[in-house]
């Protein structure tokens, strides 16, 4: 985390000249603990957010500012300027908080303080080493603090801390928000290369939108249908007939439904997967854009990944043998 935090610290020192010792310590706390403290009173967090979002004035500013490799700050004014629903951002924050802090959060906090001390000693921050060390001596333990009065007066901070993995999804959020409203539900389909982050993105987006998710991995082709002719088709290893029968007719209604989930380990059908009622559905996985399904989706997203990163991810997730099989098939 150190490198990411150091980059974030330099960014904030340049972007926010009113940064003081208290503000740097707040950054340390956020980098280590995230917004986990909000879980203690979710109702108060929701109420405070909605009041603050209603007051926020649209502003042409970056939507996200770095904090660490795990968290970013999302500005309310920028989010509002993009026409994005406040409840999406609120859900993102609460979802991030619910994940909890890392077990070594306290150690991370003190490492971040060390980074601040080093930069202050190098004269790279808007406050002196003496001011920083005096602050730390008076506040030795990690705790959530407010921004300093000077920072609040000059910078007018209004943001929420969210999982850093939300930041690359901003273009998807913008496209989703641009869709015209209508009765029933709208569908986002996420296709892409193996290990490109489709499932992770779907889970994050589902938390923000309150959407149900359909996984293409649940439509693995049963053994009885795995003929050479079928497997020679592009996407032939997907049970597209069952997807068309059990899922496609249900997506636009907005009502809850369930579908059979194929268990690859047992090579049979497992517990049905429930898709809750809602205004959004997400279909994620390879061949979710299959031409056989027609124009069922309102928004399409295709995820890609560099070859080296793909190899690392597949190997970490499934092992070296799986990567070799994937590479040669």
- Tell me the percentage of the chain whose pLDDT exceeds 70: 98
Q: Write the CB contacts of 38 (distance below 8 Å, at least 6 apart in sequence).
A: 45, 93, 94, 97
Q: How far apart are CA 320 and CA 232, in angstroms?
A: 25
Token couple for 71? 């968290």
Q: 40-68 as b/e, with b when 16 or more CB fall inside 10 Å?
A: eeeeebbeebeeebeebeeeeeebbbbbb
Provide the pLDDT for residue 2: 60
> Class of the 179-328 domain?
alpha beta
Q: Write the CB contacts of 264 (distance below 8 Å, at least 6 apart in sequence).
A: 217, 220
Q: How far apart are CA 128 and CA 21, in angstroms?
A: 9
Provide the pLDDT for residue 227: 95
Token couple for 292? 């056989």
DSSP for 106-154, please give it. HHHHHHHHHHHHHHHHTT-SSS-HHHHHHHHHH--S----PPPHHHHHH
Task: Scan for tokens 């500013």, then name that residue.
Answer: 61
Task: Scan for tokens 């909605």, then name that residue.
Answer: 50
Indicate the pTM of the whole model.
0.94
Binning pLDDT at 50, 70 and 90, where does residue 251 land? Answer: very high
Binning pLDDT at 50, 70 and 90, where does residue 322 land? Answer: confident
Token couple for 9? 């610290």
Provide the pLDDT for residue 250: 98
Strands 64-66 and 273-275: unpaired
Q: Vertex 322, ends 321 and 324: CA angle to 5°?
A: 65
Domain ranges of the chain: 2-164, 179-328
Axis-axis angle for helices 129-138, 105-121 (nearest 10): 150
Q: Is the pLDDT of residue 269 over 70?
A: yes
Q: 4-17 as b/e, with b when 16 or more CB fall inside 10 Å?
A: bbbebbeebbeebe
Q: Is the pLDDT of residue 284 over 60?
A: yes
Q: How far apart are CA 67 and CA 12, in angstroms?
A: 9
Q: How far apart are CA 121 and CA 66, in angstroms?
A: 22
Binning pLDDT at 50, 70 and 90, where does residue 37 land? Answer: confident
pLDDT tens for 138-179 read 999 999 999 999 999 999 999 999 999 999 999 999 999 999
Q: Is the pLDDT of residue 1 over 60?
A: no
Binning pLDDT at 50, 70 and 90, where does residue 329 land? Answer: low
Q: Is the pLDDT of residue 83 over 60?
A: yes
Q: Report which of 119, 105, 59, 312 is spatially closest to residue 197, judged by C-alpha positions.
A: 312
Token couple for 95? 């979802």
Q: In this predicted structure, which of 33-37, 62-66, 205-209 has the lowest mean pLDDT?
A: 33-37
Residue 185 C-beta-side C-alpha neighbours within 13 Å = 28
User: What does each C-alpha distance from 4 to 10, 14, 71, 271, 281 come to in angstroms?
Assistant: 10, 16, 10, 41, 34
Q: 123-149 as b/e, with b when 16 or more CB fall inside 10 Å?
A: eebbbebebbeebbeeeeebeeeebbe
Provide the pLDDT for residue 182: 85
Rounded mean pLDDT of 56-63? 94
Residue 111's Cβ-count burial label (10 Å; 0-12, 13-18, 19+) is middle
Q: Chain-centre distance of CA 295, in angstroms?
A: 27
Task: Return the percent helix, strand and coil in the chain, to nearest 5.
Answer: 50, 15, 35
């Amino acid at each position: 985390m150190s490198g990411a935090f150091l980059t974030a610290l330099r960014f904030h020192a340049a972007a926010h000249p009113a940064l003081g010792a208290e503000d740097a310590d707040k950054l340390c706390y956020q980098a280590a603990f995230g917004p986990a403290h909000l879980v203690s009173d979710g109702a108060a967090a929701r109420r405070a957010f909605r009041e603050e979002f209603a007051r926020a004035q649209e502003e042409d500013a970056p939507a996200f500012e770095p904090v660490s490799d795990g968290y970013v700050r999302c500005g309310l004014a920028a989010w509002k300027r993009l026409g994005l629903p406040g409840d999406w951002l609120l859900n993102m924050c609460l979802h991030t908080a619910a994940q909890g802090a890392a077990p070594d959060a306290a150690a991370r906090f003190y490492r971040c303080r060390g980074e601040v001390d080093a930069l202050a000693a190098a004269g790279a921050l808007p406050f002196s080493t003496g001011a920083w060390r005096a602050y730390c001596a008076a506040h030795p333990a990690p705790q959530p603090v407010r921004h300093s009065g000077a920072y609040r007066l000059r910078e007018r901070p209004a943001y929420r801390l969210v999982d850093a993995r939300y930041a690359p999804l901003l273009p998807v959020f913008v496209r989703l928000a641009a869709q015209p409203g209508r009765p029933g539900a709208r569908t986002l389909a996420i296709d892409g290369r193996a290990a490109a982050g489709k499932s992770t993105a779907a889970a994050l987006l589902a938390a923000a939108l309150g959407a149900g998710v359909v996984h293409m991995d649940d439509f693995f082709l049963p053994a009885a249908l795995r003929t050479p002719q079928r497997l020679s088709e592009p996407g032939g290893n997907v049970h597209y007939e069952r997807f068309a029968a059990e899922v496609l007719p249900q997506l636009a209604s907005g009502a809850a439904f369930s579908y059979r989930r194929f268990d690859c380990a047992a090579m049979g059908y497992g517990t049905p997967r429930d898709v809750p009622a809602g205004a959004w559905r997400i279909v994620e996985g390879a061949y979710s854009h299959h031409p056989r399904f027609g124009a069922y989706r309102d928004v399409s997203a295709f995820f890609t990944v560099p070859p080296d990163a793909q190899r690392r991810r597949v190997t970490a997730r499934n092992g070296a043998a799986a990567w070799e099989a994937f590479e040669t098939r």
